């Protein structure tokens, strides 16, 4: 899904830690081409908000409460295939299971703002990484 020129990339953030949600919102609100439309701290709310707001990208925690990140990714991709999923995890070993579950991109939580924005922008353009790919290209 290519973002419309001049319109920001609509992002839904889901992380089991509300502090991380708030930190991600602060990080992303400085980017003129990104708009955070909603945040959630548990999986069922994530699915409902995705349906309500139809974001271009869902930024998911690999360990979202009440449903693991891989199951949430599969559910979200089934419910709304147009939404690209970027999964953030603490461990590199979460990369391949996330991508296999349907995530477009995976990055480590400590990757920093620039890599996070790059992942969101690439995902919004449908440029997904493959299993085994370790870097943003």
Over residues 17-43, mean pLDDT: 95
Per the structure, how many domains does the chain have?
1
Give the model's pLDDT for residue 63.
77
Per-residue pLDDT at 68: 75
- Domain membership flag for residue 14: yes
Question: What pLDDT does 137 receive?
Answer: 44
Among 67-76, 115-124, 128-137, name the most confident range: 115-124
Could you tell me if residue 69 is inside a domain? yes
Q: Cα–chain-centroid distance for residue 45? A: 15
Residue 51 lies in a domain: yes
Would residue 2 count as lying in a domain? no
Calpha distance 62→101 (Å, rounded): 11
CATH number at residue 86: 3.40.50.2300
In a domain, 19, yes or no: yes
Percent of the chain with pLDDT over 70: 88
pLDDT tops 60 at residue 136: no
End-to-end Cα separation, the chain, in angstroms: 18
In this structure, is residue 58 part of a structural domain? yes
Distances (CA, A) of 75 to 7, 71, 129: 27, 6, 20
pLDDT, tens digit, 9 for 90 and up, residues 46-64: 999 999 999 999 999 987 6
Domain hosting 63: range is: 9-115
């Amino acid at each position: 899904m290519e973002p419309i020129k001049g319109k920001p990339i609509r992002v839904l953030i889901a992380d089991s830690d509300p502090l991380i949600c708030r930190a991600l919102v602060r990080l992303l609100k400085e980017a003129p081409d990104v708009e955070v439309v909603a945040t959630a701290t548990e999986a069922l709310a994530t699915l409902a908000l995705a349906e309500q707001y139809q974001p271009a990208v869902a930024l998911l925690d690999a360990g979202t409460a009440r449903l693991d990140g891989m199951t949430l990714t599969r559910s979200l991709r089934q419910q709304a295939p147009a939404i690209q999923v970027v999964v953030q995890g603490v461990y590199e070993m979460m990369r391949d299971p996330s991508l296999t579950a349907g995530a477009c991109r995976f990055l480590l939580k400590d990757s920093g703002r620039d890599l996070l924005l790059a992942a969101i922008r690439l995902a919004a353009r449908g440029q997904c990484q493959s299993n085994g790919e370790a870097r943003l290209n």
